[in-house]
Amino acid sequence: MAQGVFAITEQRDGELRKVSFEAVSEGRRVADGLGADLTAVVLGSGIEGLAEELKKYGPDKILVADDAALADYTTDAYTNVLAELIQSSDPAVIITGASAQGKDLSGRLAARLDAGLAMDCVEIKLDNGNLTYTRPMFGGKIVAKVEIEGSPQIVAIRPNVMDIVENSKEPAIEKPAVQVGDLKTKIIEMKMETGDKPELTEADIIVSGGRGTGGDYAAVEELANELGAAVGASRSAVDEGWRPHSDQVGQTGKTVSPNLYVACGISGAIQHLAGMSTSKYIVAINKDEEAPIFSKADFGIAGDLFEVLPAIIAEVKKLK
């Protein structure tokens, strides 16, 4: 009988990513609810130190899969190693982040294990030992409640949504021998943007600009800089070539859940609203008082963003 919870963590360049702490914290909560043990799994090369960091979030056991071939994520090596660890431990529930890595990995893993997968979940509910997963569909226009039959159940959690809870324990740390298997993928190069701008899906604050910017993002960027925020864009702004595709928020772009989303000159097309409606607080700035964006916002300013944004920037500077 399958039992126990696995939380699969994610590291890049030997540093754990934030979604890892979310996965382990959520794993602890689920394991407690099921009366089961939580195992955190970390994969990489020379990453023993990461186990120390994971202790804080309360796993009963930490599996450290350490191999040169696991230094950077590849679908084949990670799936091979995890499938073996999962088959030998037989957990009932597997939690991972719905990050770029987690989405790629969990789809492959689910097929290998013939397991049901709930992707991009924003909530896990426990009711008498039954788990129900809440996941947005249709780009957030629908919120579905799903259950998974059989085991293991794989759940990929949306980054930036679940709480990180410290819950220090003294877990058993194991370093199992791993077989990375026959590897087909060769990593040629990692091209990472420099600077410490947060990534859109992980940012606490997003300042987003749309058609109303007319392509002039100076004020949007300055406000984002002042707030340590990421810059987002509407589809029309991306289609105009004003911003790269990677900045696009919406049903055909990224779905984001920051604490604060500041929409500047964005009218609020239905497919844009779908992508940001799970933000905790939404501020809309738009010339048109009738713009649909105001129907989804908590706070609104009707006005010209080229007057309003500099005034906001000045106020933010006063706080420092």
Strands (E), 74-113: 93-97
The verdict on 126 binding another protein (CB under 8 A) reads: no
Determine if 96 is a binding residue for another protein (CB under 8 A).
no
SS3 label, residue 5: strand
Eight-state DSSP code of residue 195: S
Identified binder of another protein from the candidate list 5, 23, 62, 301, rule CB under 8 A: 301
| Residues of span 100-119 touching another protein by CB under 8 A | 100-101, 103-104, 106-108, 110-112, 114-119
Q: How far is the CB of 202 from another protein (least distance, A)?
A: 6
How far is residue 302's CA from residue 231's CA, in Å, rounded to a whole number? 21
Find the shortest distance in angstroms from Cβ 89 to another protein. 20
Sole window of 54-62, 144-152, 162-170, 208-216 interacting with another protein (rule: CB under 8 A): 144-152
Nearest approach, Cβ of 87 to another protein (angstroms)? 15
Tell me whether residue 89 or residue 278 sits nearer to another protein (CB atom): 278
Q: Indicate left, alpha or beta for 6 from its phi (over 0: left) and psi (-120 to 50: alpha).
A: beta
Told to check if 216 binds another protein by CB under 8 A, we report: no
Of the candidate residues 82, 94, 157, 282, the single one contacting another protein (CB under 8 A) = 282
**How many of the chain's residues bind another protein (CB under 8 A)?**
100
Stretch that binds another protein, among 30-38, 98-106, 172-180, 212-220 (CB under 8 A): 98-106
Shortest Å, Cβ 55 to another protein: 25
Q: Is 99 in the site for another protein (CB under 8 A)?
A: yes
Binding-site member from 86, 95, 120, 231 for another protein (CB under 8 A): 120
Tokens (6 digits) for 134 = 């809440």
Site for another protein in 5-44 (CB under 8 A): none
Minimum Å gap between C-beta 317 and another protein is 10
Q: Which of residues 165-194 bind another protein (CB under 8 A)?
A: 184-193
Phi–psi pair at 259, nearest 5 degrees: -70, -35
**DSSP secondary structure letters along 209-256:** E-GGGTT--HHHHHHHHHHTPEEEE-HHHHHTTSS-GGGBBSTTSB--
| Residues 6+ away with beta carbon under 8 Å from 309 | 219, 220, 222, 223, 264, 285
Q: Rounded to whole angstroms, how far apart are CA atoms 65 and 83?
A: 12
Q: How many CB atoms lie within 10 A of CB 54?
A: 23
> How far apart are CB 174 and another protein at their closest, in Å?
27
Of 25, 33, 42, 44, nearest to 4 by C-alpha is 33
